[in-house]
Amino acid sequence: MQLLAPRHKASLQTWESRPIHPQVHQGPKFFSFLDDTCGLLANESPGPPLNDGPFARVEAAILNYQIFGPSIGQGLLRRQPVEVGDTVGLRYTRLGFVHLFFACRVTEVFRQRPTREGLESGFTYQTLSGHPEVGEETFRVYKTPQEIGRASCRERG
């Protein structure tokens, strides 16, 4: 993790040579924080995703690493959309007078992959050595064949 003054520029350069944190591959511990946030974002008619429909717009936002709101921080990456092996950083700005910068490595990217829920697009990344947390996160959007509610969202597992 790097501490930055609000006007100091963040850089991925020092993070790109760092390995994935060695504890990531040991899996969650009994005290690990596990979060599965899911919600209905929009409705789109059945069939393939519309060119500029809700699924396509959310898919593009996720794959372009536009997943954190401005109240949390700013993402930093070298190219869009993300690809396997890319290092992506987050300038965490919620502390006000000091910003934190840390990064992760993209380990999987999937685009309109068929699943039991329908289609899914997104990516997974794992924390790098020096990140304040240890683990992996997956950001994804589903296009289901029919409308679902929050209860069905939780049943995904």
Would you give per-residue pLDDT tens digits along the chain (157 residues)? 888 888 889 999 999 999 999 999 887 777 777 777 888 888 888 888 999 999 999 999 999 999 988 889 999 999 999 999 999 999 998 887 899 999 999 999 999 999 987 899 999 999 999 999 999 999 999 898 765 544 455 454 4
The whole-number pLDDT of residue 126 equals 96
Whole-number Å distance between alpha carbons of 154 and 148: 11
The whole-number pLDDT of residue 151 equals 45
Whole-number Å distance between alpha carbons of 49 and 101: 35
8-27 exposure pattern, b = at least 16 Cβ within 10 A, e = fewer: eebeeeebeeeebbeebeee
Rounded to 5 degrees, what angle do the CA atoms 2, 30, 89 make?
25
Q: What's CA 78's distance to the chain center, in Å?
A: 15
Nearest to 154 by CA among 38, 40, 41: 38
| Tokens 């850089």 -> residue | 11
Q: Using an 8 Å Cβ cutoff, are 107 and 126 in contact?
A: yes
